[in-house]
Structure 1
Amino acid sequence: MKINRLLCLILVSILFFTQSHVIYAERGVSNQRLEWFFEKKGKETPPTTDSRYLELIKRYDSLFLGNPTKKDIYLTFDNGYENGYTDNVLDVLKRKKVPAAFFVTGQFMKTHPHLIKRMAEEGHIVGNHSYHHPDLTQVSDSRLKNELEKVKLRYTELTGRTDMHYLRPPRGVFSERTIMLAKKEGYTHVFWSLAFLDWETNKQRGWEYSYNQIMKQIHPGSILLLHTVSKDNADALEKTIEALQKRGYTFKSLDDLQLKKSAPPLLFNP
């Protein structure tokens, strides 16, 4: 009896490990949990990342970097919850006429619907950051789809629009399976090539910290990841935009980047 129980436990463990952590055998698609990272180069040189990640980005038409030879940059913000600074960020973007993408959660949409409306009305992209912010590699296919669908439905209710096509995975955690499922739902994964520790609200260091981190890491084709909960980011944003423009950088929308990627070769001007 003990042997049978032991064998059953072993079998269940193997099945769980296989299905949840390594391979979804019916598709032959890996669900190995990966965490996005990049290796900084400095001196306005684009960073690199793991070759496996680059292969997945290419295979599923995801984004982490724009054209590395052109001084276009892409501002993106993660909005897990509101900390009182998103209106300030939007004010700066409006004054400077700079586009951005905001990746929002269900929590943010429930508590601050007026900010979602303002983002859309002022021409910014509103992206999906999932409804409950789970590790998407650890939820079922149906739960993953539901996480994305609930955000999009609420976005449509608030704005009357259906143009939600970009996804930033919670915590930068992903797998081939999650990228594949999101793509089937009409989403492009958006990773990043510039980021720093800015989300700890009890460890803000002053606007100079945010400004200096961005200026040190900036490079042609940068996709910046910033968090709107950061007072440092809100206070530094206008100065940062002005300084980067003086360096010859142009702020573009993720839609601009997607159009360039999909343009026929003869029409693409790098």
Structure 2
Amino acid sequence: MQRRTFLALIAAGGAIVGLDACTASAPRGTPAAVVTSPSPVSTAAAPVQTVPPISAPMHRLPVLDKVPIPAGVMTGLPGNQNLLAWTVDDGSNSEVIRLYTEFAKTSGTRLTFFLNGSYSGWTENAALLKPLVQSGQIQLGNHTWSHADLTSLSDTAAIAELQRNHDFIVETYGVDPRPYYRPPYGFRNARTDKLAASIGYTTPVLWYGTLSDSGLITEQQVTDFAAQWFLPEHIVIGHLNFLPVTNVFPALLDLITTRGLTTVTLDDVFSH
């Protein structure tokens, strides 16, 4: 699907997101997909191209003229500056949180984590992660406390999911994640948008491309999806749930470097 067509559909009110939106299989009511769901994991995965190990920070943030946050649902970045927003959700695996954080620290890659505070890894890795959050290299966004489908909850329960996660992020990391939140599964509507906005979460962040790794896939599949979606001005979604992605960080970094992309957080690009 061409980007222009995709954004036109979003503007018309269509919620077009990847099938892997924080679940290994599409849950009830999953919107139409922009990507193909990965094939089952093979025990004999194709070899992954190796690249030199990460040894020093490689990505330096250029001077950017920030722009106001656009109204409505966010699916991509503005302009034509070869920027990539690599966003990562959930956090069901504490080791994956740790390895992603160490990768960011070592390589200089800028990331946005949409976390669920109910996962213990966000507390277990707080000491490691907090300096990168405080410096702005890793930005935190709200993904609800327990990865709840907001559209299925009452008004009170939906607000409570976002508020509890907000309080956890502020108390644990000392930053305010507003106005960005990612509705689990990409499920949102006018009612949930209004509820989120009532507590300051005015910008639902979806994506235009996915690593399709909310469930377990192979290392080769991760790199193939990255090759498909790591493109200028894309917001790409990954997940902090399974180890294969952590084994191909050098290959993903090589792809970013080869394509001349600069990783950015949302706060690097937008003013609020």
* TM-score, L = length of structure 2: 0.70
1:65 has 2:92 as partner: no
1:195 has 2:210 as partner: yes
The answer for the alignment partner of 1:5 in structure 2 is none
Alignment map for 1:122-201 (pairs within 5 Å) = 122-123=132-133, 124-187=138-201, 188-201=203-216
Alignment map for 1:76-115 (pairs within 5 Å) = 76-82=87-93, 84-108=95-119, 110-115=120-125
Change (3 A) 1:163 1:140: same
User: 3-state SS of the aligned residue for 1:151?
Assistant: helix
Q: 1:195: how far off?
A: 0.8
Q: 1:65: how far off?
A: 0.5
Counterpart residue identity of residue 235, structure 1: N
Change (3 A) 1:181 1:116: farther
| RMSD of aligned residue pairs (Cα, Å) | 2.4
How far apart in 1 are the matches of 2:171 and 2:248? 33
Provide runs of 4+ in structure 1 moved above 6 Å. Answer: none
Q: 1:246: how far off?
A: 2.1
How far apart in 2 are the matches of 1:113 and 1:227? 17
- Which sections of structure 1, spanning at least 5 residues, go unmatched? 1-38, 263-270
The answer for the alignment partner of 2:221 in structure 1 is 209
Identity of aligned residues (%): 21
Q: 1:227: how far off?
A: 0.7
The answer for the alignment partner of 1:54 in structure 2 is 11
Counterpart residue identity of residue 119, structure 1: L
Change (3 A) 1:228 1:236: same
Q: 1:84: how far off?
A: 2.3
Counterpart residue identity of residue 209, structure 2: L
Counterpart residue identity of residue 209, structure 1: Q
How far apart in 2 are the matches of 1:64 and 1:213? 18
- Which sections of structure 2, spanning at least 5 residues, go unmatched? 16-68
Counterpart residue identity of residue 130, structure 2: A
Change (3 A) 1:249 1:173: same
1:243 has 2:255 as partner: yes
Greater per-residue helix proportion: 1
Residues matched between the structures, number: 213
User: 3-state SS of the aligned residue for 1:130?
Assistant: coil
User: 3-state SS of the aligned residue for 2:248?
Assistant: helix
The answer for the alignment partner of 1:254 in structure 2 is 266
1:229 has 2:241 as partner: yes
Q: 1:70: how far off?
A: 2.7
The answer to whether the 8 Å contact 1:130/1:147 transfers is: yes
Could you report, residue by residue, the CA deviation over 1:157-208 in whole angstroms, capped at 9, with x for unpaired residues?
212333443211011111122122212321221100011431223xx322x3
Counterpart residue identity of residue 114, structure 1: E
Q: 1:237: how far off?
A: 2.1
The answer to whether the 8 Å contact 1:76/1:225 transfers is: yes
Which one has a bigger Cα radius of gyration? 1
How far apart in 2 are the matches of 1:170 and 1:83? 19
How far apart in 2 are the matches of 1:154 and 1:117? 15
Counterpart residue identity of residue 84, structure 1: E
Counterpart residue identity of residue 205, structure 1: T
Q: 1:118: how far off?
A: 3.3
Counterpart residue identity of residue 208, structure 2: S
